[in-house]
Structure 1
Amino acid sequence: GDVAAYARPEGEKMTLLTTLPGEEGLILVEESGSFAGHPLLADGRPGPLILGAEGEAGLPEGDPLAEAHGYRLFLGQSVTLGENITGVLAVYYRDRRTFTREDLETLTILSRTLAIEEERLAREQGLKDFIDVASHELRHPITLIKGYALSLKERFGELSGERVAEILGAIDEGADRITRLVESLLDISRIERGQLELEPREVDLLPLLRRAVGEMSAVGRKAVLRLRGQVGTCFLDPDRFLEVLHILLDNAHKFSPPGGVVEMEVRERGGDYLISVRDRGIGVPEEYRELIFDRFYQVEKPRYHSKPGMGMGLYIAREIVERQGGRIWYEPRKGGGSVFRFTIPR
């Protein structure tokens, strides 16, 4: 009889989930190009794709289902998540037939249903990745605080005043890091519930920019501020604006080479101020440049997590900027590195 299948690419290979019984319910295709629906994946077309009908091309040689069972007719539809095709929903037929409008609409509805399930799975995986990273991020300062506290408890009388002060400073730094993580989590929660509060007012922009750069320099991180033209006042929430600057400056420093200088520039552009933060770090591959502003997204895989952070900063920055009437984006820097830019209305 006829069979339905859902094809999911896995690199050069492909997994076929089918309605066939037994072991044929799950088929691993070594060469994804042999699958009849591969043109939908290769060309990024939504479909439908019909093969084997009168006046249409036939099924390709090597298609695992057509080859094993003699199917002569193929109907396929892409399953899309955002702008990405995650798979192809297909039906194979032994006998040729004419597809009605209802057939095509039914396939479209089923493909959308699969897309909803794919989105749920992606969110579930994203949450699992976040939990892995969050555990790593929290474990480090907690271990540091516990270790130093134990040293003070067991060897306080042996330690010099200078060493005690150094240990207390490290404990304070670890506590600050935990506080920042918790505050970021609270911001995420407020954003998701639509309760992120802004208190905009007329403020002088230049002191805020200088303060953000000064706070970077105060902790030993090299940063410079470049002004292009006059900088006046804006109607914004100064605390949230500083939060965006801290996120971008900290992010730039995190991915800069040792001793690298982070640059922040502000200039007028139309009815906005354009603020740019530049570094000479490793940059962001093209395929990730839109994703980096998603919640919990990190270019680095969780299992290889080596840079501090939980993938929340750029998401929070985007929400704050957009809620104040601006926009934020990424650009590669000529000569290597990254440029994060955002606008705020004047």
Structure 2
Amino acid sequence: MEDFQRLREVQRGYDSVKVLLRYPAPGFKFPEGNPFPLKNLPGRRAIQGEAEPRETVRYVNKQTGEAAWNILKSTAIFDHELKPYLVITVMQDITQLKELEQRKDMFISMASHELKTPVTSLLGFIQVLQKRFQQRDDEQSLQFLSIMDGQLKKLTKLINDLLDISKMQTGQLTYNEEYFDLNELVRETVCNLRAATRSHQLLLEDEVQAQVLGDKDRLGQVLINLITNAIKYSPQANKVMLSISIDAGEAVVRVHDFGIGIAEAHRQRIFERFYQVGDPLERTFPGLGIGLYISSEIIKRHGGKIWVESKRGDGSTFSFTVPLHDLHG
């Protein structure tokens, strides 16, 4: 009850918490400032069967004009016929935490910008040296340069990811929308990754034409993240399976691996920024916990959703949806 009273004080710019819960769309936005679709409400998602969905939202206090942030968490209660009859939503004020995160984001952005220039210069000099050593037929030096080039490209990807996160937090990440066939993008991405992947077969099982409106490069970024993760977390397997289908006016893309799986306690949090699974088995796979967060934000921006189905030791299936758009409609 004490927390509830504090929540009412924080959100006193609204007539009541009931109004806030019932009609959140006009006032709530995603943290980066984009409108918050009603269908993304954790309560609605809980009714549809999603286990303990959560969202971070931003709103502006009508009295002070100041921005504030909440985490919304919902749980559906089902009756004996497995029909939902009650949804419990908890709202936690995280404004102070967000302000600290903004300072951290500013530092990350500045540091990433400062790192990008020298790394780009190093990549350029490596290309010059590679040409010279090729003329001299110096295979050993070329091998060393190839290793350096690979590591610098990994560093470049990390820097770009950090810059993307910084832009997402401030709503400055640009999206170039166009109409395209999502199935063609999946096929193109799989084809490109096949050439760079020797350990796994990438199998595209089900295909269907799916005309969507969105940023082709950003959605390609999501596919690359999911497929490379599937390869990374299934070292003992030799294949990754993909499919695309249509369901209720949305294109559904699935990436299934046969790897270590994800424990239930982590499934709802792996899309959080910088979240890392603390289990000893997962610690053998290094990462900063940013790829899935970026993917999640990109899918949200396209009006879709992303989720994972997994069982520990029995692989994982990552799925995301993108609304269909009729080019002539």
Unaligned runs of 5+ in 1: 1-80, 85-111
Quote the residue 2:183 is aligned against: 206
2:222 to 238, 244, 251: 244
Partner secondary structure for residue 270 of structure 2: helix
Q: Which moved more, 1:194-203 or 1:181-190?
A: 194-203
Counterpart pick for 1:170 among 138, 147, 168: 147
Which structure 2 residues correspond to residues 132-171 of structure 1 after superposition, within 5 A?
161-171=138-148
Cα pair distance change 1:306/1:229, threshold 3 Å: closer
Q: Aligned pair 1:192/2:169, yes or no?
A: yes
List per-residue Cα deviations over 1:110-147 (Å, max 9, x = no partner): xx99x759x849x88xx7xxx9xx9xxx9xxx9xx9xx
Once the 2 structures are TM-superposed, how far is the Cα of residue 300 of structure 1 from its aligned partner?
Answer: 3.1
User: What's the CA shift string for 1:193-223, capped at 9, x where partnerless?
Assistant: 0112111111122331122112221122424
Q: Residue 257 of structure 1 aligns with which residue? A: 235
1:232-257 Cα offsets, whole Å, 9 max, x none, are: 32211100010000111111111112
Partner of 2:212: 234
- Structure 1 residues 270 and 247: CA distance shift in structure 2, 3 A: same
Per-residue CA deviations over 1:58-111 (Å, capped at 9, x if unaligned) read xxxxxxxxxxxxxxxxxxxxxxx8659xxxxxxxxxxxxxxxxxxxxxxxxxxx
Alpha-carbon distance, 1:266 to partner: 0.8
Give the C-alpha shift of residue 258 in structure 1: 3.5
Closer, same or farther: CA 116–211 of 1 in aligned 2, 3 Å:
closer
Residue pairs, 1:268-287, within 5 angstroms: 268-287=246-265
Question: How many Å apart are 1:308 and its aligned residue?
Answer: 3.1
CA displacement, residues 132-176 of structure 1 (integer Å, 9 cap, x when unaligned):
xx9xxx9xxx9xx9xxx9xx9xxx8xx962222222211111111
Contact kept in structure 2, 1:226 and 1:265, CA below 8 Å: yes
The aligned counterpart of 1:325 is 303
Task: Give the TM-score, by structure 2 length.
Answer: 0.56
Q: Report the CA distance shift for 1:225/1:205 in structure 2 as closer, same or farther (over 3 A).
A: farther
The total of aligned residue pairs comes to: 219
CA 226–305 in structure 1, closer or farther in 2 if over 3 Å, else same: closer
2:318 partner letter? F
- 1:240-286 CA-partner distances (Å, limit 9, x unpaired): 01000011111111111245311111111120111001111111111
1:229–1:165 Cα change, 3 Å: closer
* Partner SS for 2:284: coil
Q: Which has the larger radius of gyration?
A: 1
Residues 1:333 and 1:228: Cα distance change in structure 2 (over 3 Å): farther
Q: Which runs of 5+ in 2 are unaligned?
A: 1-70, 75-90, 325-329
Find the aligned partners of 2:193 and 2:236 in 1 and give their Cα distance: 15
Contact 2:207–2:245 (Cα < 8 Å) also in 1: yes
In structure 2, the CA distance between the partners of 1:258 and 1:160, relative to structure 1 (3 Å rule), is: farther
CA-based RMSD: 4.1
Tell me the TM-score normalised to structure 1 length. Answer: 0.54
Kindly state the Cα deviation for residue 293 of structure 1 after the two structures are TM-superposed: 0.5
* Runs of 4+ displaced beyond 4 Å: 81-84
The equivalences for 1:44-123 within 5 A come to: 120=97
Q: Percent identity?
A: 37
Name whichever of 220-229 and 234-243 sits farther off.
220-229
